[in-house]
Chains A and B, each alone.
Chain A
Amino acid sequence: MKILTAAALAALVTVGAGQVHAAEGEAMPKYDWSFSGVFGRFDRAAMQRGLQVYREVCSACHGLKYVAFRNLEVLGYSEDEIKEMATEYSIGDGPNDEGDMFERPGRPSDYFPSPFPNDKAAAAANNGAAPPDLSLMAKARPGGPDYIRNLLLGYEDPPAGFEALEGLNYNLYFPGHQIAMAAPLSDGAVEFADGTEASTEQMATDLANFLMWTAEPNLERRHSLGVSVVLFLLVFTGILYAAKRKVWSDLH
């Protein structure tokens, strides 16, 4: 009885946890990310390509407001490269000594500027749906990086009889299957600096790598610290167990 109930409970809990976290709609194909798992680390080359696609395609509509240019050092860029990249952006600043607001070239300490001044303007320019900031996207949707990759690859012809509303696009993985964003990627949309072929799939995968980093920039530190902490605790707990056995030995 006891064992049966325990087994039933365990099953329920597992199923429950899975279901709470599962996305609605389409089953979500999973990709084997370099950053998943206990020893997982980011793929620098993929992140650099992802950044490039973001800068050349997505940044027209999506902000990345929690990421500063200085943060990009982790991706393997030098200080000069980052300075250079920052100056390509124009940043609103002020007021100056005359009391006027002004635009100036970006600095490494600046954050990626958002393409629209506010959500209303963003919605007005995009069929009424504001493109969300992408900084936290990889943590803000069930499935995270898998969802981003699938979403970008999920533009298909709608099944027979499916009428997408005016201005909306059919997407297999978007909840409700109608998304205001038109397919943003097409083969060869960018020319990768490292010579990798820019297939849609390649770009979607690289973007998901990059956006996982923007959402969880401390992932590598977390993993490596975690391994040390768990190893320490294993040894320490073993010693505590031995101590407990020793202390109790005169009782049994």
Chain B
Amino acid sequence: MSGLKTNNPVIRWIEYRLPIFSFIDHAVGSGYPTPRNLNYWWNFGSLAGLALVIMILTGIMLAMQYTAHVAFAFDSVERIMRDVNSGWLIRYIHMNGGSFFFIVVYIHLFRGLYYGSYKAPRELLWILGVVILLLMMATAFMGYVLPWGQMSFWGATVITNLFSAIPLIGESIVTWLWGGFAVANPTLNRFYALHYLLPFVIVGAVVLHIWALHRFGSNNPLGIEANGPQDKIPFHPYYTAKDAFGVGVFLLFFAAVVFFAPNFFGEPDNYIPANPLSTPAHIVPEWYFLPYYATLRAIPDKLLGVIAMFGSILILFVLPWIDRSPVRSAKFRPIYKQFFWIFLADCILLGYIGAKPPEGMFLIIGRIATAYYFLHFVIVFVLSYVERPRPLPSSIGEAVLKGGGAPAPAAAREKA
């Protein structure tokens, strides 16, 4: 147990029997030493946690009013919007909260890519992050089905149908997923059950994620290990104050959308009740799925398309072993840095293509962008051997306090 200093007898009484206060202090308090040089890109982890809490709270409130039945789901959501006190607010927060959750998590993820946070000894931390991303995608996909609008229904139909591409057992899997021979009431019911369950599985994964984080502490913009007290500062009050400011900025953006453009990220078609007899002109998923949707459609063969789509995320699992460069931060990797930006641009381009019909120029660009997505990982692998990193500073304290790092070539090759 740490030297938790307090004179409060109640806290001392509890702490003696259940050392929860020192636990919290170690997790996010003064007992958690953190690199002193974290920039604002390190705010997005706590923001993702906040988004998860917001989703669970608003979700539970929605669940009290929502009816998971094909004949009532759409009407029950409209009731929430019209008759439930502040129901419109709860629903708009939940609806846009999904988008903001993904924005924050995507930034968090690309931060990791830029600063090499996935490298040893943080591989499991990274892998747990990818697990969280997959769980979020499943949760958001099933949540989008719940209001039972046209896009809900047709999105569910298109995506579940993908599994029919699996040879031999594909058709049976799809029937099993649907609980019948079409997307219908049993499908809606199980999606609701899972949509309620998965966020709590995410909470579990987040706990593991943070546990793994605390093993070695945060990476930092220099990507070198923090050694000694001059490199570190206590999480509280420094990063609690910085994270709190980040929360304020996040809430400003969030509130602006919830109150003044709540349907910005949405599709008008989802305000039309689901109709199995009328297919919308364009079936598009939510924006955060568009890059994967582009990947899926770029490949003419259905099975290969599905494999590429899932592969585009699964490949992130092995990234720590693809990138063999011992230098973490792109700051000291002049060539990797360029390719990082190209990769980011490629992902956004894929998102743009995902919103377009798969024909003509869009299809061609989509194919090139998909190919490049995977090529990037080959490039990263090759770069780890051919790139000459810039010299690393010998310590964070030195770099931060004196400004700029004195060359220390030995540290550059040292495997952390």
Contacts and interface: CB of A to CB of B under 8 A. Distances in A.
A141 B281 CA distance: 12
A24 B355 CA distance: 13
B268 A144 contact: yes
B345 A9 contact: yes
Contacts, number: 109
Nearest to B284: A20
Interface in B88-136: 88-89, 92
Q: Which has the most chain A C-beta neighbours within 10 Å: B249, B252, B259, B351? A: B259
B88 A218 contact: yes
B379 interface: no
Nearest to B342: A5
A149 B362 CA distance: 32
Contacts of A247: 237-238, 241
Contacts of B81: 218
- If over half of B's interface residues share one DSSP class (helix, strand or loop), that class is named, otherwise mixed; here it is helix
Interface string B203-243: 00000000000000000000000000000010001100110
A160 interface: no
A237 B248 contact: yes
B317 interface: no
Interface string B309-346: 00000000000000000000000000000100110110
B87 to A, nearest CB: 9
B248 A222 contact: no
Nearest to B242: A244
B88 A237 contact: no
Given A140-B271, A222-B88, A226-B259, A12 B352 contact: yes
Contacts of A217: 82
B348 A248 contact: no
Nearest to B262: A222
Contacts of A16: 348, 351-352, 355
Closest 7 CB pairs of A and B: A226-B259, A237-B248, A140-B271, A16-B352, A247-B241, A240-B245, A244-B241
8 contacts: A9-B345, A12-B352, A19-B355, A142-B268, A229-B255, A237-B252, A241-B248, A243-B241
Interface of B: 36, 78, 81-82, 88-89, 92, 233, 237-238, 241-242, 244-245, 247-249, 251-252, 255-256, 258-260, 262-263, 268-269, 271-272, 281, 284, 287, 338, 341-342, 344-345, 348-349, 351-352, 355-356
